[in-house]
Chain A
Amino acid sequence: MEHIGIEPGRVHFSWISSAEATKFVEVAKTVAEEVKALGPAKHLIKGRAEVA
């Protein structure tokens, strides 16, 4: 994804077991923070079809 121009930090991967609630919270927080810091996404956003 980064190779085609999606900023580093926008895509995250994690492996969380269903028993790891704390890890899930931590990861969700970090992801939210890092993505917020990057600002709104600029690419791969599809608008509504323009109908004449």
Chain B
Amino acid sequence: MLEYTEKIRETAGKLLEEGKVEVFIGFKKGSVPMMNEPVLVRDPKKVELLYWDSNCGLNLCNYLTKRTEKIGIVATGCNSRNIVTHITENQIKREQLYIVGIPCTGMIDHRAVQHAVKGREILDVQEEGDRLVVKGEGFEESFNKADFLQSNCAVCTHRNPVLYDEMIADAVEEQTGVSAYSDVEEIEQMGSEEKWGFFTQMISECIRCYACRNACPLCYCPTCFVDESQPQWVGKSIDPDDTMTFHFLRAYHCAGRCTDCGACERACPVGIPVRQFTKKLNKDALEYFSWEAGLTLDQRPPLDVFRPDDYNDFVK
């Protein structure tokens, strides 16, 4: 992964120096291990800030919305799909962007690593090929990166960017034979009460911090429905029904748009698997409309067009 860092710095430096872009959006090393931060670089002398490893799980597309300057941006498979969605939804113009494509082998689930070292304080995590070396006070352990992927990365079938101006390395092999929706299918098998119990339990720890919403590149409304007070669509307390309303409405707003980048889950401070809500809608979009978000600029999203053969059975 370190070779990616060098190439990103080199490319960003060149783009900024030549004036092809005014700002370059990438990641810098976080102040704590496994927590890389988004960074916007304007000065070609500061490209050394840029960094890349398997802890770049946030979605940089968040920083594109309604920008007016020329932008360079690094993009993995899912991030590039969000860029496509942004262009389709008129949040940014293709001509403004110089996309540096990153073939991605998945991001690390920092909670799983924390769990694997039994909660001891991690001071440093280094990637050595397919291995992860985790160091802390008085311990050093090595793990197989593939066993510690974020759950969305483990079932990802679009690792290579779908839209780019240049690639940082050769494309990686796409995963085949992964069943992306087995967990959703399990829930579908449950009865109504069991489903309600499952989701109520799942969000019981939610503190309504809206980190999932803020991390999501799809959530760019000037005023979110949860922040509005006139009218107030949903209660602002941590009343379980209000919290449930927030979660499933947030998911609805992502219907046919979500690329399963996992930023919401990564950002959640209490570790709620919030993707369970959006995944059901992704599955429906795929089954009813053969649609996966952000794969092409040539097709309008399913909820944006009408076709006589659209799935219609629920309308009486």
Contacts and interface: CB of A to CB of B under 8 A. Distances in A.
B241 A45 contact: yes
Contacts, number: 48
Contact of B316 (A3, A5, A30, A46): A30
Contacts of A37: none
Interface string A1-18: 111111110001111000
Interface string B217-244: 0000000000000000001010101101
Interface string B277-312: 100100000000000000000000000000000000
Size category of the binding interface on chain A = 20 to 34
A46 B242 contact: yes
A25 interface: no
A14 B315 contact: yes
B192 A7 contact: yes
B284 to A, nearest CB: 9
Interface stretch (B30-38, B119-127, B194-202): B194-202
A4 B241 contact: no
Where chain B touches its partner, the secondary structure class is helix
A1 B284 CA distance: 13
Given A3-B187, A3-B188, A46-B242, A14 B248 contact: no
A21 interface: no
A44 interface: yes
Contact of B193 (A5, A13, A15): A5
A46 B241 contact: yes
Nearest to A4: B199
Contact of B315 (A2, A5, A13): A13
A8 B314 CA distance: 11
Contacts of A15: 315
Nearest to A12: B316
Contacts of B242: 46
A2 B277 CA distance: 12
Interface centre among B194, B195, B316 (most CB of A within 10 A): B316
Contacts of B91: none
Interface in A1-52: 1-8, 12-15, 27, 30, 42-46, 49
B245 interface: yes
A14 B316 contact: yes
Contacts of B195: 2-5
A2 B239 contact: no
Nearest to B239: A46
Given A1-B248, A3-B280, A13-B316, A46 B196 contact: no
B192 A5 contact: yes
Contacts of B200: 5
23 contacts: A1-B248, A2-B192, A3-B188, A3-B195, A3-B280, A4-B244, A4-B248, A4-B277, A5-B192, A5-B197, A5-B199, A6-B192, A6-B196, A8-B192, A13-B315, A14-B315, A30-B316, A43-B241, A43-B244, A44-B244, A46-B235, A46-B242, A49-B237
Interface of B: 187-188, 192-200, 235, 237, 239, 241-242, 244-245, 248, 277, 280, 314-316
Interface of A: 1-8, 12-15, 27, 30, 42-46, 49
Shortest Cβ-Cβ A-B pairs, 7 listed: A5-B196, A5-B195, A7-B192, A14-B316, A4-B199, A46-B241, A3-B280
